Amino acid sequence: MNIEKIKEIFKNKKREALDIDKYHAVLLPLIEIDGELHLIYEVRAKHMHSQPGEISFPGGQVEVAESFKEAAVRETYEEIGIKRKILIL
């Protein structure tokens, strides 16, 4: 599978949440190595008080006047240091 196929799959997906007063966004970071796509994820530290040792993707709560994309990009930078300028969205 390539990035264009992945974009096509999600292109017309409807985004909606029901009865939620807080919104969250995540980013699924993909990197191409030797022509193959690989998914980057986080493993939460064992000492974390919330969900220690769990596997997750970078993301978090959407702030006021922030889009889902902006929140996911901001959280990705805050959590794993990937800067917006190298992200292809």
Sign of the alpha-carbon dihedral angle for 65, 7, 79, 59: positive
For the question of whether the overall pTM of this predicted structure is more than 0.95, the answer is no
- Alpha carbons 75 and 62: distance in angstroms, whole number: 9
Q: Which domains does the chain have, with CATH numbers?
A: 3-86 (3.90.79.10)
Percent of the chain with pLDDT over 90: 29
pLDDT (tens digit, 9 = 90+) per residue, 38-64? 988 889 889 988 889 999 999 999 999
Over residues 1-24, mean pLDDT: 80
| pLDDT recorded at residue 88 | 67
Amino acid letter at 22? K
Pure H helices in 1-89: 3-11, 68-80
- Alpha carbons 35 and 64: distance in angstroms, whole number: 39
For the chain, the distance separating the N- and C-terminal CA atoms, rounded to the nearest angstrom, is 17
